[in-house]
Structure 1
Amino acid sequence: MAGNSSSPGTSVTARALSLLAAFDEEHRRLALSELTARAGLPLATAHRLVGELVAFGALARTSGGDYVVGRRLWDLGLLAPVQTGLREAASPFLHDLYGATLATVHLAVRDGTSVLYVDRLRGHASVPVVSSIGSRLPLHTTGVGKVLLAHAPAEVQDAVLANLTRVTPYTITQPGTLRRQLSRVVRDGYATTVEEMSLGACSVAVPLRRGEDVVASLGLVVPSLRTERPRLVAALQVAARGIERAMGPAAVQSWGQPV
């Protein structure tokens, strides 16, 4: 259950937010009864608030009667600094990178102990890609995530290494192995994965810096890294340097990643 907001002192705002918080990666479509249970609200209260959220556009009702997150929230989310400043600075370089590689391009930041994808260009190759703009994935399973984890504060690294979930048979779940990989990421300036998030997909990623701080990561997803890794790393580094030059100080301060 997402939470319990049924106590008498809970504000209307908190109850409405609990309904929105009931949705996550595993619960993208909810019946009213499921939504009510996950929000911890009385049915009558949930029914009234859901109606208001649908009227506002924060929720939408499907033809089958379930509820999904509405377009209005997506439109509002695009106004967040993490979307606007970074995406605007990076956009032309992402398109150049895509044109040079025809691979799926990812732009990501760290959100706590997850990697948050703020932009993506889908490549031509038939490679399984599970990310989408606005989605979050485990830091230790992706190239962009490993870059961000390698440069994260020690307490973030400790929290991630204490809970290394397995996604595929190739996901790194041994803390010692991952720590050695993170050290190589810092030393070499890039990270790689081999089928650690989805079978048939490999990734390579580099950091985006502002001064000495790593504030984002830029990555590619490809079928294999056996022969193309040097070329892909070089292309990523050229694009990263261009994005870093394009980023203004005010934009970076507004979307620095949270601890």
Structure 2
Amino acid sequence: MNLIKNAPDEGALVVLSGGQDSTTCLYWAIQRWGRERVQALTFDYGQRHRVELDSARAIAELAGVRQTVLPIDTFARMGGNALTDDIIPESGVRADDDAALPNTFVPGRNLIFLTFAAAFAYQKGLAHVVTGVAQTDYSGYPDCRENTLKSLELALRLGMDSRVTLHTPLMFLTKAQTVHLAQDVGAMSALALSHTCYNGAVPPCGECAACLLRAQGFAQAGAIDPLIERTGRARADETVNQLTLC
């Protein structure tokens, strides 16, 4: 019996959060399918730092792809994590042998996001969904692991009678390798507009786990972070303007 009858046209939907990884994935998808066959989907899930949404919009505009912002307030209503509640994110990089999940983990977030993304792609006739999850530098989030994504893909295919494919181009890349990939696919200019900081700081705080991992990746890749270059220049210009007014 054929359980998968619906075969959408080629084309990809990228889950775009406005961060480093999803931005890199957006340009990876553009290189693979072409700009005209790629769309971006951003979730407004009640995240405290609305700058993420601003970044996602700016990046989609720069990339020249259609973006849809989908509101989901469920996670904010449930609370209990540092991304939606007034909770200070844990600092430092998680040790490999640390079994405890950080307070930035939002239970079920990627599962829900990708389910909505697959449903959206189905309606738009897109066969591929791209997400920036990674199992290498992933802070222990269980919904970023390959076995989780493979299981979800099978469930989506059966549950929607479709051939949707989940793509995770960063799954086994280190942050340094992700930087190299961003260079290869032409995403560096867009990374200047991205937002990673768990504390929502612009310029980035440089102390939270997300900032430390990002900085480590660029340092190991021997590259300058375009975001730090842009925000540092903006801060310097602001200082000059203030001194001029004094």
Q: Is TM (by shorter chain) over 0.5?
A: no
**More strand per residue: 1 or 2?**
1
Highest RCO, 1 vs 2 (Cα 8 Å, sep ≥ 6): 2
Q: TM-score, normalised by structure 1?
A: 0.28
Q: TM-score, normalised by structure 2?
A: 0.29
